[in-house]
Amino acid sequence: MRIMIAEDSAILRDGLAYLLADRGHTVTAAVATGDELRAAVAADPPDICVIDIRMPPTFTDEGLRAALALQRSHPAVALLVFSQYVETRYATELLANPGGGVGYLLKDRVADVREFVEALERVAGGGTALDPEVVTQLLGASRRRDELAMLTPRETEVLAALAEGLSNAGIAAQLVVTERAVEKHIANIFAKLGLAASETENRRVMAALRYLQG
């Protein structure tokens, strides 16, 4: 295979390049940023790209955004996201590619080089390779979005204000409604999100987390 690597850690980048070359594959480029990866693919498309998620300049989701851009501009290039993080924001869109040739593996859960190379070959051949933990978290994110979709526009506004840390009085002042109306909205939010009263969990905090995660 002809492989490109996008990994900001020089040690991991060089280590991957060595392991893949040692097994007979050609590493056509090994870069540290998403922009460098896009430029390298445009100049000489490989069979597959191995892409980390968090790279310069913000170390958030540059890798996934670069992968989505490549999926649109070079659909014949297979993509394997290889990271220690599960980022659900763009991963669902990336993995929804009906043509296959995409994968998402977690660095900390790959203990065997042979299995990694086999997964790489499978993705390069048009198949998929997904870590079960990635699938679990993506399904959880999907459920959270479905729960939030059940909220009315006003309930969503109340939940957003709650997530900002506002009290009921603060939410009422911000939305120009009564505190009693805010209390009713929050009760409805708790019910729709399945947050029952508990002695061990703060429902306001749990609701805020659902909103932020969704």
- Whether residue 34 contacts residue 73, with contact meaning beta carbons closer than 8 Å, is answered with no
Does 166 score more than 70 pLDDT? yes
**Res. 103: pLDDT tops 70:** yes
Sign, CA dihedral 54-57-60-63, equals: negative
* Mean pLDDT of all residues belonging to the chain: 88
> How many Cα atoms are found within 13 Å in the side-chain-facing hemisphere of 75?
6
- Taking 70 as the threshold, does the pLDDT of residue 18 lie above it? yes
CATH class entry, domain 2-133: alpha beta
- Residues comprising the chain, all counted: 214
Write out pLDDT tens, residues 86-98: 887 777 788 777 6
Identical fold between 2-133 and 142-213: no
Give per-residue pLDDT as tens, 108-158: 888 888 889 999 999 999 888 888 887 777 766 667 777 788 889 999 999
Q: Write down the pLDDT at residue 136.
A: 73
Domains of the chain, residue spans: 2-133, 142-213
Say whether pLDDT at 60 is over 70.
yes
Q: What pLDDT, in 10s, does the model give residues 63-75?
A: 999 999 999 999 9
pLDDT band per the 50, 70, 90 thresholds, residue 182: very high
- Statement: 142-213 belongs to CATH 2.60.40.10: no
pLDDT of residue 168: 93
Whether 18 contacts 44, CB under 8 Å? no
- The DSSP 8-state label assigned to residue 79 in this structure reads E
202 pLDDT more than 90 = no
Split at pLDDT 50, 70, 90, the class of 53 is: very high
